[in-house]
Amino acid sequence: MAKIIDGKLVSASIRASVADEVKALRENGICPTLAVILVGDDPASAVYVRNKQKACIETGIEPIQITLPKETTESELLSKIDELNRDSKIHGILVQLPLPEHISEEKVISKINPEKDVDAFTHESVGRIVEGKYSFLPCTPAGIMKLLEYYEIDVAGKECVVIGRSNIVGKPMALLLLNASGTVTVCHSKTKNLSEVTKRADILIVAVGKAKFVTADMVKEGAVVVDVGINRMPDGKLAGDVDFDSVSSVASLLTPVPGGVGPMTIAMLMCNTVFAAKRAHNNKKA
Ligand code: NDP
């Protein structure tokens, strides 16, 4: 039976150290502040935003929530971001995705000052990740790297397979594994003989968005399997992209859903916000 990778436990320890750091910063008059913009009334997005706000409060970070109606125009949203870019009290800006269809996500993300880009989605942040010279890392892949580190899984020289090539998860995940000297293969919907590829993986990261997509026959005995997927099942429960019950008999380590990658994503957002606040303060002093 696979050992469970406990994202709740690891994220709690990260949040506790963020809280200590925030306390020290506040004692020095620095109040790390995160602005989260939500456009429209997508219920899943509202839950994600609420969880981020909760984590801010718990760690002492000041949350500023900006909720805009779904009719908000692209130029109104861009002006709002401009305003937040100029506000020196705001250290991090996050725009909850997806945006309503009439708004270009690319234009909106590009508008965020890279110094405040705590999601690491701007072109500048992505370019830095490609070069391996980053200040912010995208929260989900960064959280996964932290989990691997915590469980002392050395990536160097390992066969790493990532299923999914989204800009948010799959691609940056592959880059981080590559930066850690893994031998990386990225799979997607056009990949032929998927299970032949996945069966080579010492470390398998699954970010497909399809419930229970990866089954035991796709996994090498003893592999480390990280499930990024969050799928709402008809009974209202959450399921990952990995068939937990069957894969746990083959894998050596496995993340559950919920309680695996999800809590790490938010913990890394808190880390990025504190980093941004410290950097803004140091830049002001210089
Ligand atoms: P996307 O829909 O953007 O990407 C899914 C990827 O899966 C695509 O690259 C797609 O390939 C690939 N794919 C789809 N079908 C197949 C298939 N049959 N075989 C192989 N590859 C396939 O999703 P995201 O990356 O944004 O998210 C993935 C999952 O992770 C979702 O469940 C999402 O909810 C979850 N998520 C969880 C987070 C967390 O904090 N835990 C954070 C972010 C996301 P192609 O490019 O060819 O279409």
pLDDT in tens, the chain (286 residues): 999 999 999 999 999 999 999 999 999 999 999 999 999 999 989 999 999 999 999 999 999 999 999 999 999 999 999 999 999 999 999 999 999 999 999 999 999 999 999 999 999 999 999 998 888 899 999 999 999 999 999 999 999 999 999 999 999 999 999 999 999 999 999 999 999 999 999 999 999 999 999 999 999 999 999 999 999 999 999 999 999 999 999 999 999 999 999 999 999 999 999 999 999 998 887 7
Q: 29-115 with 139-261: one CATH topology?
A: yes
Burial class (CB in 10 A: 0-12, 13-18, 19+), 209: middle
Residues designated catalytic:
52, 96, 119
* Pocket lining: 231 vs ligand 1, CB cutoff 6 Å: yes
Q: Which helix (H) or strand (E) holds 15?
A: helix 7-27
139-261 adopts what CATH topology? Rossmann fold (3.40.50)
Break the chain into its structural domains and give their ranges: 29-115, 139-261
Query: How many whole angstroms from 135 Cα to the centroid of ligand 1?
Result: 25
Please check whether residue 221 is in contact with residue 253, taking contact to mean a CB–CB distance below 8 angstroms.
no
Report the alpha-carbon distance of residue 9 to residue 6 in Å, rounded. Answer: 5
Q: How far is CA 88 from CA 30, 108, 246, in A?
A: 11, 20, 51
* Pocket lining: 262 vs ligand 1, CB cutoff 6 Å: yes
Task: State the architecture of 29-115 in CATH terms.
Answer: 3-Layer(aba) Sandwich (3.40)
Query: How many whole angstroms from 111 Cα to the centroid of ligand 1?
Result: 25
Copy the structure tokens of residue 210: 């399809």
* H-state helical runs in 92-227: 105-111, 123-131, 139-150, 170-179, 194-198
* Pocket lining: 51 vs ligand 1, CB cutoff 6 Å: no
pTM for the predicted model, two decimal places: 0.96
Please check whether residue 39 is in contact with residue 68, taking contact to mean a CB–CB distance below 8 angstroms.
yes
Q: How far is CA 73 from CA 35, 76, 101, 110, in A?
A: 19, 5, 11, 16
Query: How many whole angstroms from 168 Cα to the centroid of ligand 1?
Result: 9
